[in-house]
Amino acid sequence: MGIVSPGFQGRPRPAGPALPPGQYLTEDFPVLSAGPTPTVSPQDWEFVLATETGAEYRWSWPELMALPQETPTVDIHCVTRWSKRDTSWQGVSLDTLLDGVDTAAGYAVAHSYGGYSTNLPLTDLRDGRAWIAHTYEGRPLPAEHGGPARLLVPHLYFWKSAKWVRGIRLTTTDEPGFWETAGYHDYGDPWREQRYAGD
């Protein structure tokens, strides 16, 4: 327990399932990004999965839409401490995209239109835990939230769910991304409160 601040009581303790430590619920969908929002039209959008040997797998927008679609409803947790319950999405599972991809890589780096990047272990993209999401609450994902498509990896802090995603590169070594080289945690598990490097 920390040092008590006299007179602080806090809100009534929220009912329902526990949130990750240090998080509070919001009904909004706050926007966080490091620069201007890139404008990418679905006609120009392309997603490239590249393996550690240089093999590339490409999907255009119509090709992505033609793949099996999933509709996850998930809680999301931002490192800036807001959490949002029961967000509903539509997209393509990374299991689908990785199916048949021959790789021995242990890591992945997601790259975005606009230059953003974030890293995560490849295993965190498998087993129904990650999607390329293009629809939010039944509507096309707005640009400020990462549209036309973003990575969705809700079991990690939300900066790992790269907005405006354009590709994933599989790597044999861990290559820290944008926030990971700016003081944030390399893995970012909200349940272990891995906010900053060293947590």
Partner 1 sequence: MSAALTWRVARLAGRRVETPTAHTLLLDVPGWPGHLPGQHLDLRLTAADGYQAARSYSLAAPAAGNRIEVTVQRVPDGEVSPYLVDVYAEGDPVEVRGPVGGWFVWRTDQAAPVLLVAGGSGVVPLAAMVRARRAAGSPAPFRLIHSVRTPADALYADELRRRARDDPGLDVAYVYTREAPADWPGGPHRIGAADLTRHGWPPDRTPLCYVCGPTGFVEAVADLLVGLGHPAGRVRTERFGPTG
Give yes or no for residue 178 binding partner 1 (CB under 8 A): yes
Give yes or no for residue 9 binding partner 1 (CB under 8 A): yes
- 72: which DSSP letter? -
- 2: which DSSP letter? -
Query: Total residues at the site for partner 1 (CB under 8 A)?
Result: 40
What would you report as the CA-atom Rg of the chain, rounded to the nearest whole angstrom? Answer: 17
Sign of CA dihedral 100, 127, 47, 159: negative
Q: Which of 5, 17, 18, 68 binds partner 1 (CB under 8 A)?
A: 5
Give yes or no for residue 14 binding partner 1 (CB under 8 A): no
| Interatomic CA distance for residues 180 and 187, integer angstroms | 8
- Min dist. Cβ of residue 46 to partner 1 (A): 19
Provide the CB-side half-sphere exposure for 98 (13 A, CA): 22
Q: For 137-189, give the DSSP string.
A: TTEEPPGGGTTT-EEE-TTS-GGGS-TTEEEEEEESS----TGGGTTB-SS--
- Min dist. Cβ of residue 193 to partner 1 (A): 10
Give yes or no for residue 17 binding partner 1 (CB under 8 A): no
| Interatomic CA distance for residues 88 and 4, integer angstroms | 38
- Min dist. Cβ of residue 123 to partner 1 (A): 20
Provide the CB-side half-sphere exposure for 156 (13 A, CA): 22
Give yes or no for residue 83 binding partner 1 (CB under 8 A): no
> Which is closer to partner 1, CB of 28 or CB of 102?
28
Q: For 8-54, give the DSSP string.
A: ---SPPPPSSPPPTT-EE-SS-----SSPPP---TTT-EEEEE-TTS
Among the residue ranges 44-52, 131-139, 157-165, 182-190, the one whose residues contact partner 1 (CB under 8 A): 182-190
Interface mask toward partner 1 for 112-151; x: CB under 8 A: --xx----------------------------x-------
Give yes or no for residue 37 binding partner 1 (CB under 8 A): yes
Q: Which of 20, 81, 105, 189 binds partner 1 (CB under 8 A)?
A: 81
Site for partner 1, rule CB under 8 A? 1-11, 13, 22, 24, 28, 30-38, 80-81, 114-115, 144, 178-179, 181-183, 186, 195-199
